Structure 1
Amino acid sequence: MASANSQNLGRKPIGKLLVQQAAPASIGILVMSLNILIDTIFVGNWIGSTAIAAINVVLPVSFFIAALGMAIGIGGSSIISRALGGDDRKKALKTFGNQISLTLILTITLVIIGLIFVDSLIPAFGGKGDIFEPAKVYYTIVLYGVPFLALCMMGNTVIRAEGKPKFAMIAMIIPSVGNLLLDYFFINQMGLGMWGAAWATTASYLFCFAYVFWFFVSKNSELKISLPDFGLNKSILSEMGSLGFVTLSRQAVVSIIYLLMNNILFDLGGEDSVAIYAIIGRMLMFALFPVLGVTQGFLPIAGFNYGAQKYQRVKESINTAILYACGLGLLVFGGIMFFAEEIVEIFTQNPTIIAETPDAMRWVFAATPIVAIQLIGAAYFQAVGKAIPALLLTLSRQGFFFIPLILILPNYYGEIGVWISFPIADLLSTLVTAYFLNREIRLKLKPETSR
């Protein structure tokens, strides 16, 4: 039998469960986002706006490798949630062991490749001109810590699958606090510049890994794996890969978007335009924390109840998650619309960036109130193990709509064409996701089929 923690996912009221799962997830994402935000503020004020652009250039590579851990984590955690819901502990344990093995093999291999081709990758992702040297310093150091970050991202999703969101929240808070303290010490006090910013980030990954490792070897975790569980299992890897590929594809598209955006904006407006995108990108990570928290909280609830064949509870979790997330998205939208200028002035004193960023930011966040429908809809299909619709809906927003838009609209409208691509892509993908999610609810989640 699964422990009381995971069984609660199938018993407690959905609204209460969602708050219990989403609140720690939101706090964790908030702290992590604040870390990225404040880190950018520190770098911008203590090193310069070029340093902000340099970090933004490095993000696609480090994010993609770290996303492997997230992909393996979410793919495996979907299996674990459904296995715990169906009282199959043996499969849950084997899946967790395979997650660890696969994460180590893939991330270490990619880090080696990334270090070998460093001088080619940085210019390809927009690290040109004055941006190249600081980007190379940051990239080289941060890449050493990325396997630990990948293990943390993987472990964090498994902790949630066990029904222990508070521990997952702490795992996200620890590296954030550590990074900010080390930023202050290395950059402000010791004057180490980009070198200090990079080592602060890498050390924070190690702090997080230490905590996640402690969680799984302590009595807090119900997943006590043994050596045979690390042996790769073809059927588990296949299922994990098909589900994890959804997350990996999304992160791969994010990396491609960074590549395209950095190059398009550099050609349109130089280093300043890249820095503007870097600031907006940080705000996207930060401001949407409550919506993303609801999405994270929704995943184990939907997965467990689907595995237990409690389809009416799955339907209720979808409706409740969308309601909560859309309401929070509306609050975010209002904050950005009214305080865009004040937000930008926190990051930099560059007059050009201060003048141009607020309007661009408003365009980027214009569809925020409805984007929760797209996020929850895509997350549902991933939670219940339906890889193909999850993949297509996940890619619809940034891949199928956004990338073509940023390749076409700037040719006619210049830099404004880049910014209006965001809300158009959000609207189109939300409409598509709403259609397929509604169809799924009507055909597959009928009350009479619940156990």
Structure 2
Amino acid sequence: MQEKKDNRLGTEPLGKLMVSLALPAVAAQLINLLYNIVDRIYIGHIKGYGDVALTGVGVTFPIIMLIAAFSAFAGMGGAPLASIQLGKKDYQEAEKILGNSAGMIVFFSIVLTIGFLIFKTPVLYAFGASDATIGYAEDYITIYLFGTIFVQLALGLNTFISGQGAAKTAMLSVLIGAVINICLDPVFIFALDMGVKGAALATVISQAVSAVWVVRFLVSGKSVIRLKTSNMRLEGKIVRNIASLGISPFIMQSTESLVSITLNAGLQKYGGDLYVGTMSIMTSVMQMIVIPVQGITQGVQPIISYNYGAGNKKRVIGTFSRLIGICFGATLVLAGVAVLAPEVYASIFTSKRELVELTSQVMPVYFMGLTIFGIQSACQSTFLALGEAKVSVLIALLRKVILLIPLAILLPKWMGVMGIYRAEPIADVTSVVVTSILFIFTMKKILPKMGKSDMMEEKKN
């Protein structure tokens, strides 16, 4: 029964399989994006103080990203390993990986909730809050933190659903929460006059429902691998394996927090609240561009992992070749729209003319390098799918920690506030070039080591 459920990853025609897995994953990522985007759209249009409230909520973004980063550490670190074990038909080991990932998520949730609740005020000021925005930031993040366990379970464990090829189920787990969030937002924010507190409460309730859906599926007979409490006891070897692979997506997401801190602090210093407001909007637009691409890579990743575990070189090569072309085309189009029509995006999040005009002025500069970023996303995902932890970590560190943050600190000294916006495209282009070179050399070493099963594949087709 288990083999029937996951065997399509190794036998179904690649084009059809990639579409069937990628489309639900993209839909899930876009739906998940609505959690924060819808909140910000509603908050930005609150009469009288929407622009200030939007800036305050934007300051909480580093904390939210850090919470998501820990779920990625456990979930995205464990899911590819479980998929590789599925390719080897070792279901018991795959279930141990799932259980240990779940145990790590519970531990992280407890520590993060307590830590941020205690230190939230100084942390928010460090992240760019001002006396005018701190109240809104605290109102939002205090309620959000009480839902940390739900956020982490929903995000972290859902990767194990998509990792076994159940992309539609993974999409539904996100869709259910998003629909609830969209319905509750206007009720809590406007009808009950709760403002930013209402937006946070709607998010927590919707994530709780998603978490219940995900856990319920993974403990049921519908799942190829089952979540069992006996496997949640952490084992050193399994945790180390998850950590070695999970550190890369953790760095990618947690450094979003560090980047936000650096950019917001610099914009506050060289520009003021209005400039911090532009970053709140552009962060949301950035998500609108990057998250669909992440959906594509997340949907396709199990195909690479499964066939790598099965030793099927031909399917691995065919999958990542198509993945690179698709991701590059996606960022070229999506980021290109942001460069050519910035006012359209800016107007979605605020009705304040001054903020729309400033955002429209800086957005084309900020997003120029993102047009080719799909190449790096595809390479990064392929490295994770193959279990190449060291290269993944290097790529994750390169763009943000090694390039973007130092540039965002140094360039404003000579270029003023525009130096902060120009740091992003310089970092993007440089990291794509370096990643491409690393990808070519690394794949030349990995592929010859794989077992040869091309003849078997040809017979099947």
Please confirm whether the aligned pair reaches a TM-score higher than 0.5, indicating the same fold: yes
Where does 1:208-247 land on structure 2 (aligned, <5 Å)?
Answer: 208-247=210-249
TM-score of the pair, normalised by structure 1? 0.96
Partner of 2:442: 440
Following TM superposition, where does structure 1 have runs of at least 4 consecutive aligned residues deviating by more than 6 angstroms?
Answer: none
Q: Aligned-pair distance for 1:286?
A: 1.2
Partner of 1:270: 272
Amino acid at match of 2:43: V
Aligned-pair identity in percent equals: 31
Partner of 2:306: 304
- Contact conserved, 1:35 with 1:179, CA < 8 A, in 2? yes
- 1:169-189 residue CA offsets vs partner (Å, 9 max, x unmatched): 112222222222111001111
User: What is the alpha-carbon distance in structure 2 between the residues aligned to residue 221 and residue 117 of structure 1?
Assistant: 39
- 1:224-275 residue CA offsets vs partner (Å, 9 max, x unmatched): 2444212211111110011111111222211111111111111122111111
Partner of 1:20: 20
Partner of 2:66: 64
Where does 1:155-234 land on structure 2 (aligned, <5 Å)?
Answer: 155-234=157-236
Instruction: Work out whether 1:43 is the aligned partner of 2:54.
Output: no
Of 326, 337, 340 in structure 2, the residue corresponding to residue 338 of structure 1 is 340
Unaligned regions of 5+ residues in structure 2, if any?
454-461
- Contact conserved, 1:31 with 1:172, CA < 8 A, in 2? yes
Please give the secondary structure, in 2, of the residue aligned with 1:127. coil
User: What is the alpha-carbon distance in structure 2 between the residues aligned to residue 218 and residue 82 of structure 1?
Assistant: 21
- Contact conserved, 1:66 with 1:146, CA < 8 A, in 2? no
User: What is the alpha-carbon distance in structure 2 between the residues aligned to residue 446 and residue 125 of structure 1?
Assistant: 47
Q: Aligned-pair distance for 1:51?
A: 1.1
Q: Relative to structure 1, is the Cα distance of residues 17 and 364 closer, same or farther in structure 2, using a 3 angstrom cutoff?
A: farther
User: What is the alpha-carbon distance in structure 1 between the residues aligned to residue 450 and residue 294 of structure 2?
Assistant: 31
Q: Aligned-pair distance for 1:411?
A: 1.2
Amino acid at match of 2:66: F
User: What is the alpha-carbon distance in structure 2 between the residues aligned to residue 195 and residue 317 of structure 1?
Assistant: 44
Please give the secondary structure, in 1, of the residue aligned with 2:226. coil
TM-score of the pair, normalised by structure 2? 0.94
User: What is the alpha-carbon distance in structure 2 between the residues aligned to residue 72 and residue 338 of structure 1?
Assistant: 38
Partner of 1:315: 317
Partner of 1:88: 90
Q: Aligned-pair distance for 1:447?
A: 9.5
Q: Aligned-pair distance for 1:64?
A: 0.8
User: What is the alpha-carbon distance in structure 1 between the residues aligned to residue 365 and residue 407 of structure 2?
Assistant: 14
User: What is the alpha-carbon distance in structure 1 between the residues aligned to residue 307 and residue 9 of structure 2?
Assistant: 7
Alignment coverage as a number of residue pairs? 451
User: What is the alpha-carbon distance in structure 2 between the residues aligned to residue 79 and residue 43 of structure 1?
Assistant: 40
Unaligned regions of 5+ residues in structure 1, if any?
none
Q: Aligned-pair distance for 1:117?
A: 1.3
Instruction: Work out whether 1:122 is the aligned partner of 2:124.
Output: yes
**CA RMSD across the alignment:** 1.6
Where does 1:391-430 land on structure 2 (aligned, <5 Å)?
Answer: 391-430=393-432
Q: Aligned-pair distance for 1:449?
A: 4.4
Q: Aligned-pair distance for 1:339?
A: 2.2
Amino acid at match of 2:42: F
Partner of 2:382: 380
User: What is the alpha-carbon distance in structure 2 between the residues aligned to residue 71 and residue 109 of structure 1?
Assistant: 15
- 1:139-190 residue CA offsets vs partner (Å, 9 max, x unmatched): 1110000111001111110001111011111122222222221110011111
- 1:179-234 residue CA offsets vs partner (Å, 9 max, x unmatched): 22111001111111122112111112111112112212333212224442122111
User: What is the alpha-carbon distance in structure 1 between the residues aligned to residue 307 and residue 343 of structure 2?
Assistant: 44
Please give the secondary structure, in 2, of the residue aligned with 1:219. coil
